Structure 1
Amino acid sequence: MNKTIQFQLSLMMFLEFFIWGGWFVTMGIYLPNTLNTSGGETAMAYSTQSWGAIIAPFIIGLIADRFFNAERILGILHIIGAVLMYQMANAEDFSSFYPYVLGYMIIYMPTLALVNSVSFNQMKDPAKEFSFVRVFGTIGWIVAGLVISYIFHWDSEEGIANGMLKNTFLMTAIASAILGVFSFTLPKTPPKVDKDQKINIGDIIGIDAIKLLKNKNFLFFFLSSILICIPLAFYYQHAGQFLGEVGMPDPAAKMTIGQISEVLFMLLLPFFFKKFGFKKTLLVGMLAWTVRYVLFAYGNAGELTFTLLIGIALHGICYDFFFVSGQIYTDSKAGEKFKSAAQGLITLATYGLGMLIGFYVAGKITDANVISEGQHNWKNIWIFPAIFASAVLLLFGIFFKNEKIEYKK
């Protein structure tokens, strides 16, 4: 691949995930401390990711894939996103904040597919080339956390008390505007299908892959994927708030340990597949969720700080060993005809349905464990996802029969 194009794609990925990591992690700290939200309201804000994931396939399938170049619609969406992010920064209460975050996630989630489309269109061998571009996205997420904690100190006790986390939205708005303008300079990625071609809604949302559920093994995997997203939502929604509340310094920077670990375990994933097989790899991923939440429940920001840091570092195993492994398994079961439909079905089930339920449950449990204003019984909160993840682990271990991944022709 041309070095100039590789640089453009790498910068695109860097900005794409710098934007997401620049506000999503610390929103759980910002909302209760600045806008005085309840756990239920914080859950509503985070659940916008699920609504975005549900709506995204329609934006891509009905608009981006049919009428406009991917790089152009990517630019337009990020420019609109910059305006919405600016409005989020200036919202004075949750009722005015929520419509903007909902609108933002509806237009942001489709960009995750668009950046992949732009990248793949320039690659002769995506299996070899894509990882060297995509890794800059993870680096962007890490840099966002480090900038928030170590350069501007917005998530310090003083910064939180003075409402400085508002600046994370302004920083993201600037980055979104930059990516929006930059997108128009990216290599041309024309529509994939003729605009006059008949629309198949089943292909767009993955309904055509429903027949895969006739396979009992895939059905158990599918149900487990939905269920494991419930404890996952606790981490996304409340980990930052938890670290800030227990006195962990620079929580945004500490959370980037999870992304660093994600890169490491992504590289180790092929070894685990070969050594232990698919089922054991997924079981290790599920076990990591249980261990992480037990560490959170019984750790503290004092002499047991290391337990919290280990819990964050387990993110690589939690995410890669289950979700990335699951994407590979789904791809192998689907065959050429239903690859896109199957991935769409899994995305709707996990980031859509599973996370939507998870955010709601996490908000309810957090509200039920308020000790005083700004203080929660975090031990009780984290025990629930620990038990839930262990139950999913047990059910998957019993009902899923081990099988070798073989790609269908």
Structure 2
Amino acid sequence: MRSDSRTRTAVRGGRDGGGIDGGESTADTRADAPMFMRLVAMMLLQFMVFGSWFATFGLVLVTNGLGSVIGLAYSLAAVAAIVSPMFLGAIADRFLASQKALGIAHLCGAAVMLLLPSVVTAANGALALGLIFLYMVFFQPTLGLVNSIGLRHLGGNEKLFPYMRVFGTLGWVLAGVGVGALGLSASTHLFYVTAATSFVYGIYAFSLPSTPAPAKGVRFTIGDIVGARAFKLLKSRNFLTLIICAVLTAIALGVYNSYASPFLGALGITNVAGVLAVGQAAEVAFILTIPWVVKHVGMKWALFAGMVMWGMRFLVFIAAGLVSSTGLAILGVALQGICNDFFLVLAAMYIGEVVPVKYSAQAQSMLILAVSGVGQLIGSLVSGEVFGATVGANQAATAADWTPVLIIPVFSAAITAVVWAVFFHDARRDSDSTKPAPLEVGP
């Protein structure tokens, strides 16, 4: 990427030739160093907010006598991912600039976070669940919005996306290490850290490069509320396969988010937030290999590796529990690098490359819905039931007793591997290209 301030790269329009505003304009945006650094700061702050509380939320609940609602709490977070991103995605597509939607969502989330410490300390499970659901209604759509904003302003430089996204991972690492160093892994005070970070980010979001609604001026319909425009993409076998496999893979993600921190606590690890940050640190290393891997093995098999590795890491966790090995547990956490980078990051890149720009916000939201919504909901609910019947029902449970909970992702990964290998066709733009062919979407 050239850093010359005179360098300008046209924003990639839709496959139908539309510009950034969905019309016929040839609006362009700077792809120089200042623009890139603004997007980097966006990713850094986005995941500092997320990483400051989400990783050890289950441990906080256990510490405050609310261990029985862990599965339900993460399930409600997944339900929020189902009901909110498509709606906000439709608004961002037509009525509200993406950077403004991002700022408003984080400012509202900061206000909700300020209410959580006293509620959780009082062990008010019902109200805590309600506040978490409300917070996630605001937060979940922002995961798709940052991908959409980043890819739009990188223009034709989609290959730079992993290098931008890696700073999101660094943000999560910084948040985890900070929370752990402050001794807040199991403390309700971590919610204050999240609120402060979210407020700063919310203000910053309004200064991001203008990202107008791509479908501005197009008649709004009720179907836009549920993202019906993006449903057209499901006519493509590749896109449908991606969404199905995203749901299946996210079952493992639901189990991990819900019970990784209590499992590590059962192994006797005290600085849980710091250990979990090892996973994000590994992402930094692996994310930099994405361009090389895609070039040499292709998008299909790079995504396949990320999906399958979710099953492999839970086999490592099972082994760690059976032999009471903190070393194996840390190895399982470190495999986060392959699991997330070669699944979530590559999936977002794939959508950015093949989906017409006028569908981009809702397509990214559909991915978030599949991952953070449907898949994690299934994973959280199923693992919650299994946890309640095994570990939760045994006051003397040790790490070895976690096997029934940890085996769930192994089965989901096996199913995913078969579906992906059989049904996804690795089409290219041309015989010499490493880029996937664009989706053919009707009017």
Q: Counterparts in 2 of 1:1-400, with a 5 A limit?
A: 7-38=37-68, 41-54=69-82, 55-62=84-91, 64-91=92-119, 92=122, 93-116=124-147, 119=150, 125-127=156-158, 130-150=161-181, 152-155=182-185, 160=186, 165-184=187-206, 186-187=207-208, 189=210, 191-192=212-213, 197-200=218-221, 202=223, 205-214=226-235, 216=237, 218-300=239-321, 304-330=325-351, 334=355, 340-370=361-391, 371-373=393-395, 375=397, 377-397=401-421, 399-400=422-423
Q: Distance in 2 between matches of 1:97 and 1:245?
A: 24
The corresponding residue for 2:25 is: none
85-94 vs 303-312, greater mean Cα deviation: 303-312
Q: Distance in 2 between matches of 1:314 and 1:392?
A: 18
Q: For each residue in 1:195-217, what CA deviation from the matched residue of structure 2 results, as whole angstroms up to 9, or x when unmatched?
A: 65411455664434545545555
15-24 vs 202-211, greater mean Cα deviation: 202-211
Q: Secondary structure at the match of 1:59?
A: helix
Q: Secondary structure at the match of 2:53?
A: coil
Q: Distance in 2 between matches of 1:106 and 1:153?
A: 28
Q: Distance in 2 between matches of 1:310 and 1:225?
A: 24
Q: Offset of 1:268 from its aligned partner?
A: 1.9
Q: Offset of 1:149 from its aligned partner?
A: 1.4
Whether the aligned pair in 2 keeps the contact of 1:48 and 1:106 (CA below 8 Å) is no
What amino acid is the match of 2:253?
L
Q: Offset of 1:61 from its aligned partner?
A: 2.1
Q: Offset of 1:240 from its aligned partner?
A: 1.2
Q: Offset of 1:29 from its aligned partner?
A: 0.6
Structure 1 residues 224 and 149: alpha-carbon distance in aligned structure 2, compared to 1, 3 A threshold = same
Q: Offset of 1:65 from its aligned partner?
A: 4.5
Q: Distance in 2 between matches of 1:320 and 1:266?
A: 6
Structure 1 residues 197 and 337: alpha-carbon distance in aligned structure 2, compared to 1, 3 A threshold = closer
Whether the aligned pair in 2 keeps the contact of 1:121 and 1:189 (CA below 8 Å) is no
Q: Secondary structure at the match of 2:370?
A: helix
Structure 1 residues 328 and 112: alpha-carbon distance in aligned structure 2, compared to 1, 3 A threshold = closer
Q: Distance in 1 between matches of 2:283 and 2:147?
A: 19
Q: Secondary structure at the match of 1:403?
A: coil
Whether the aligned pair in 1 keeps the contact of 2:75 and 2:377 (CA below 8 Å) is yes
What is the RMSD computed on CA atoms of the aligned residues? 3.2
TM-score by length of 1: 0.83
Q: Secondary structure at the match of 2:407?
A: helix
Structure 1 residues 218 and 36: alpha-carbon distance in aligned structure 2, compared to 1, 3 A threshold = closer
Whether the aligned pair in 1 keeps the contact of 2:90 and 2:362 (CA below 8 Å) is no
Q: Distance in 1 between matches of 2:40 and 2:240?
A: 37
Q: Secondary structure at the match of 2:289?
A: helix
Q: Distance in 1 between matches of 2:148 and 2:419?
A: 37
User: What residue ranges of structure 2 are gaps of 5+ in the alignment?
Assistant: 1-29, 430-436
Q: Distance in 1 between matches of 2:157 and 2:137?
A: 27
Q: Secondary structure at the match of 2:268?
A: coil
Q: Offset of 1:257 from its aligned partner?
A: 1.7
Q: Offset of 1:244 from its aligned partner?
A: 1.4
Whether the aligned pair in 2 keeps the contact of 1:205 and 1:348 (CA below 8 Å) is no
Whether the aligned pair in 1 keeps the contact of 2:96 and 2:213 (CA below 8 Å) is no
Q: Distance in 2 between matches of 1:67 and 1:208?
A: 15
Q: Offset of 1:172 from its aligned partner?
A: 0.9
- Of Structure 1 and Structure 2, the greater helix share is in 1
Whether the aligned pair in 2 keeps the contact of 1:227 and 1:392 (CA below 8 Å) is yes
Q: Offset of 1:188 from its aligned partner?
A: 5.6
Q: Offset of 1:99 from its aligned partner?
A: 1.4
Structure 1 residues 13 and 341: alpha-carbon distance in aligned structure 2, compared to 1, 3 A threshold = closer
Q: Distance in 1 between matches of 2:363 and 2:309?
A: 26
Q: Offset of 1:84 from its aligned partner?
A: 0.7
Identity %: 32
Structure 1 residues 257 and 204: alpha-carbon distance in aligned structure 2, compared to 1, 3 A threshold = farther
Q: Distance in 1 between matches of 2:263 and 2:359?
A: 41
Whether the aligned pair in 1 keeps the contact of 2:99 and 2:209 (CA below 8 Å) is yes
Q: Offset of 1:153 from its aligned partner?
A: 1.9
Structure 1 residues 301 and 178: alpha-carbon distance in aligned structure 2, compared to 1, 3 A threshold = farther
Q: Secondary structure at the match of 2:426?
A: coil
Q: Offset of 1:9 from its aligned partner?
A: 4.1
Whether the aligned pair in 2 keeps the contact of 1:205 and 1:341 (CA below 8 Å) is no
